[in-house]
A and B are shown apart, each in its own frame.
Chain A
């Protein structure tokens, strides 16, 4: 058995408000942004601040906040799609910066909005097989560096953030069974095309293939078709009725999509967490941020986590409070 024991989060210091966005793009109404996608502020990394920097801050915060002996961490998983380098892995840089043991395993996983679920599935397997005792899962994204300076839609939507979760053989939240899924047919609908091996980044600043491209309608369509079944499958797998889950924690994509999914799946408002007003869509960090924020305010017993997005990739898991 594996448990989520502790979570810490780090939000970078540079805020972008809706008013800032409206100032730059006068046809983009700041109230309309809030009304439609439920975001008021998002924070982004500075020009000289990268994924490993915010990840190190999140992990150090976890160690300090919960007084963890860092020599007990025996595996580090880093989920990111904005790594510092092609190689080495960002996890190796973080291991060194934080001062984890050299006997600690460390790898990156490249996954986006479903990344927290995928990371948990790996951490759970490492603990459950008794191969490891204390696994840290970091989610860290700096999508702001992938976005074109005039792409007001994606600037409005995405924020940067990092989180660190300790998964252990004891803790408050038992990790139950996972449902995962993939459909690479959607690869082109959320992509940064240039910059890796297949297509080099071009010198042309206006070449949009150098930046994040999102086909919103296609992503919406995929989500509306796949996620209701995913929720149903995972409830069945874990022998829960829909009403037995007191807290549904979905990837915080935008409030319009979340409201739509909530109604479509028929989840009561009070059991469905929406928490992105001052963060935006922080990709793989939205679920741990909302989870951490829920701890003091909600009575959590049976929880479902649901992630979905780039890939396409999706996953869900239930947790049970001990």
Chain B
């Protein structure tokens, strides 16, 4: 499933890349989440999906599922 690819990419950006991430993970409530991590995820989304998001936007979304849907929606509307 394409979301699994996204989860892998998300995971690989974390300082501790053994952390378990699922579609339901509410990343912005996790202890690793801060403004710097949001920046790294922003750059990954820009690189891999050509979608430019503000870090605050990423933080405001509920979970990985929502974030991934947002990216796909943006891609489709291009």
Contact = CB atoms under 8 A, between A and B. Distances in A.
B34 A36 contact: yes
A222 to B, nearest CB: 11
A36 B40 CA distance: 13
B23 interface: no
Interface residues on A, range: under 10
A217 B34 contact: no
Contacts of B54: 217
Interface string A220-231: 110010000000
A221 B35 contact: no
B43 A36 contact: no
A302 B60 CA distance: 45
Chain B's interface size range is 10 to 19
Contacts of B43: 220-221, 224, 260
Contacts of A36: 34, 36
A224 B36 CA distance: 12
Nearest to B39: A220
Scoring B34, B39, B42 by chain A CB atoms within 10 A of each residue's CB, the highest score goes to B39
A221 B39 contact: yes
Interface in A4-27: none
A226 to B, nearest CB: 12
A221 B35 CA distance: 12
Nearest to B43: A224
Contacts of B40: 260
Interface string A252-272: 000010001000000000000
Contacts of A46: none
Given A220-B36, A221-B43, 10 more contacts: A216-B35, A216-B36, A216-B39, A217-B38, A217-B39, A217-B55, A220-B43, A221-B39, A221-B42, A256-B36
18 contacts: A36-B34, A216-B35, A216-B36, A216-B39, A217-B35, A217-B39, A217-B42, A217-B55, A220-B36, A220-B39, A220-B43, A221-B39, A221-B42, A221-B43, A224-B39, A224-B43, A260-B40, A260-B43
Interface of A: 36, 216-217, 220-221, 224, 256, 260
